[in-house]
Structure 1
Amino acid sequence: MKEPLTVTLPGGGRRGKRVRIVRATARDTRRLTRLVRNSRAYEGHYAAMVAGYRVGPDYVETHEVYLATGDDDRLLGFYALVLSPPELDLMFVADDAQGLGIGRCLIAHMKDRAREAGVEAVRVVSHPPAEGFYLSVGAHRTGTVKAEPPAVLWDRPELLIPVR
């Protein structure tokens, strides 16, 4: 896959919104961490899960981490793909960029990367409010991952995204 990948999302005027997807580097870790910690999806009783979370340089170097940015280089979202065993470990879209197609664009990119690596399907242990999104992009539910206190206090849907 050539990098960077630039796509134009529908809407946003005559041209649409241009989004670049590039491999994250150690220099991106602060803004990736900020996106995770500030996500409104993890407010309330979910907040404890991301309060001390950090996306570190070692994580970015070890896994397939890709970020989506706008023309102004603003971080719109990112995903982290673990190849062995195949799992979508992280996926976040900036609160003000949700509903613009960024998540679908990231999932399409993730499927391409997984396919290139010879993967047939990618496991997702979803944040409960995000399950509907994953189902809408072709995932199917395979089970439930039970709560693991004190880190995770709630059950989470387990899904599989076919990529072949």
Structure 2
Amino acid sequence: MRSSMTDRRGGVRVRRAVARDAKRLTRLVTTSGAYEGPYAPMVQGYKVGPDYIEAHEVHVAVDDEGRVIGFYALVLSPPELDLMFVADEAQGRGIGRLLVGHLLGQARRAGLTAVRVVAHPPAEGFYLSVGAERTGTVEARPPAVMWDRPELLLTVDGGP
């Protein structure tokens, strides 16, 4: 499923990720300020590889200088937002909302009615602000995940 490159906000466009984006996406995950402190072990050594990009709906937000400043990964079956990161220096500019809007468009084109989100606890407020509804809690699974996480649902007809 290809997307148009017309989804824009303030000089930022969204496009399908390609294999050469893998290192930058990995860097966005592993250097995210949201995963500092007790959350750091979860992303330590994490890798977004070319095979992952090929297997899922991975889309990147690119600024007007061509830099990848955010991305999301949508798993179509079962429908779930697997990853979403915005570069620390790009936060607060509407990039996350742009990505969620694009994600909902991709989900709609794929015939989905909703997308599950298991959120990083500090990100729950963001997902609620873009229209997600809390549906429950996913319990910790040590040693991989040491804390409970909010489970939310993004309805495809809604969104930012």
Q: Verify same fold: TM over 0.5.
A: yes
Q: What TM-score does the superposition give when structure 1 sets the normalisation length?
A: 0.93
Larger RCO, structures 1/2 (Cα 8 Å, 6+ apart): 2
Q: Is the 8 A contact 2:7 2:102 kept in 1?
A: no
Give the percent of matched residue pairs that are identical in Structure 1 and Structure 2: 67
Matching residue's letter, 1:59: Y
Unaligned runs of 5+ in 2: none
Q: Which residue of 2 aligns with 1:72?
A: 65
Report which of the two structures shows the higher radius of gyration computed on alpha carbons.
1
Distance 2:79 2:16 in 1: 18
Q: Which residue of 1 aligns with 2:124?
A: 131
Alignment of 1:7 onto 2:46: no
Runs (4+) of structure 1 exceeding 2 A deviation are none
Distance 2:30 2:8 in 1: 27
* Structure 1 position 5, deviation (Å): 2.4
Listed one character per residue, the Cα deviations across residues 126-145 of structure 1 (whole Å, up to 9, x for unaligned) are 00000000000000000000
Q: Is the 8 A contact 1:6 1:18 kept in 2?
A: no
Q: Which residue of 2 aligns with 1:14?
A: none
SS of the residue corresponding to residue 149 of structure 1 reads coil
SS of the residue corresponding to residue 123 of structure 1 reads strand
Alignment of 1:29 onto 2:30: no
Matching residue's letter, 2:77: S
Distance 1:107 1:158 in 2: 16
Distance 1:81 1:107 in 2: 10
Matching residue's letter, 1:112: G
Matching residue's letter, 2:8: V
SS of the residue corresponding to residue 157 of structure 1 reads strand
Distance 2:100 2:63 in 1: 17
SS of the residue corresponding to residue 144 of structure 1 reads strand
Q: Which residue of 1 aligns with 2:32?
A: 39
Q: Is the 8 A contact 1:66 1:80 kept in 2?
A: yes
Q: Which residue of 2 aligns with 1:146?
A: 139
Q: What TM-score does the superposition give when structure 2 sets the normalisation length?
A: 0.95
Q: Which residue of 2 aligns with 1:12?
A: none
Q: Is the 8 A contact 1:126 1:157 kept in 2?
A: yes
Residues 2 and 64 (structure 1), Cα distance of their counterparts in 2 relative to 1, 3 Å cut: closer
Which residues in structure 2 correspond to 1:77-156 (within 5 Å)? 77-156=70-149
